[in-house]
Amino acid sequence: MSKGLARHEEAPEDIELTRVLSVGQWQYLMDHLHGLPLDEHAHRLRFVLPFAHATGLRVSELVDAKIGRLYTMPLRDRLGIRWMLKVLGKGGKWRAVPLSERVVSLLGAYLAQRGLDPDPLANPPETPLIARIDGNDPVSSSGLYKAIRGLFQSAADALRADGRGQEAKAFDRASVHWLRHTCGSHMGSAGVPVNLVQKLLGHASLATTSIYTDSDEERLWQEITELEGMGSAH
């Protein structure tokens, strides 16, 4: 072998971030969820999916979230409040995670469906944000994983039934942790500063967060596609 040739090595599993749902895939998933019969499972998922997508919480952090860790703060520049959630993350480190008005509204509807007060702070502090289907005890990590994986598989089956087998494969592969990557990716694509994404996700290193903001592969693909289109016009 020539000295100028590099050694053959196994290609890395991910050169760019692949364990993430695109904006289009996310919208399809939410549309699919809202098209399902509105039973207790769907009620829970209608809160859980936007909650996980907006906060990027790990599965362990999602099931650990409690009413007693919610708090509000006045807005600095206008009348109003912001909702926050205290989250115990890796290494026993606490961080404050913001909740949008939409997520708080969905939480209120989900609490009411569980027979609780729709005002989150009017409920006992030990009340879990995400509960088991058969009561108000906390859902287990495995229980939540199975529920979300079931939704992913349902979306995959619907795509496959519609003749879109290639698009279905992403949902076949998707795990619950993809929701955390999806949160980071969508925030990075929207131009949210990387240090704020790091703060939200609770990453110890900024380098870990940079995967959500350093991807130019689609931009390169678009440029190549446009150039090829110009060439074919002649």
Q: Which one from 32, 46, 53, 180 is the annotated catalytic residue?
A: 180
Tokens 């919610």 belong to 70
The closest of 168, 166, 167 to 153, measured between CA atoms, is 168
Question: DSSP readout, 148-209?
Answer: HHHHHHHHHHHHHHTT-HHHHHHHHH--THHHHHHHHHHHHHTT--HHHHHHHHT-S-HHHH
3-state DSSP assignment of residue 82:
strand
Q: Which one from 34, 90, 93, 169 is the annotated catalytic residue?
A: 90
Residue 41 appears among annotated catalytic residues:
no
Residue 219 appears among annotated catalytic residues:
no
Q: Are 46 and 102 in contact, with CB atoms under 8 Å apart?
A: no
Residue 3 appears among annotated catalytic residues:
no
Q: What angle do CA 88, 91, 95 make, to 5 degrees?
A: 35
Residue 86 parent element (H or E): strand 81-88
Q: Which one from 34, 146, 173, 177 is the annotated catalytic residue?
A: 177
Q: How far apart are CA 57 and CA 104, in angstroms?
A: 16
3-state DSSP assignment of residue 36:
coil
Q: Which one from 110, 114, 181, 212 is the annotated catalytic residue?
A: 212
Q: How far apart are CA 69 and CA 169, in angstroms?
A: 37
Residue 177 appears among annotated catalytic residues:
yes
Residue 28 appears among annotated catalytic residues:
no
Query: DSSP state, 11?
Result: P
Residue 53 appears among annotated catalytic residues:
no
Q: How far apart are CA 205 and CA 81, in angstroms?
A: 30
Q: Which one from 46, 53, 58, 114 is the annotated catalytic residue?
A: 58
**Catalytic residues, which ones?**
58, 90, 177, 180, 203, 212
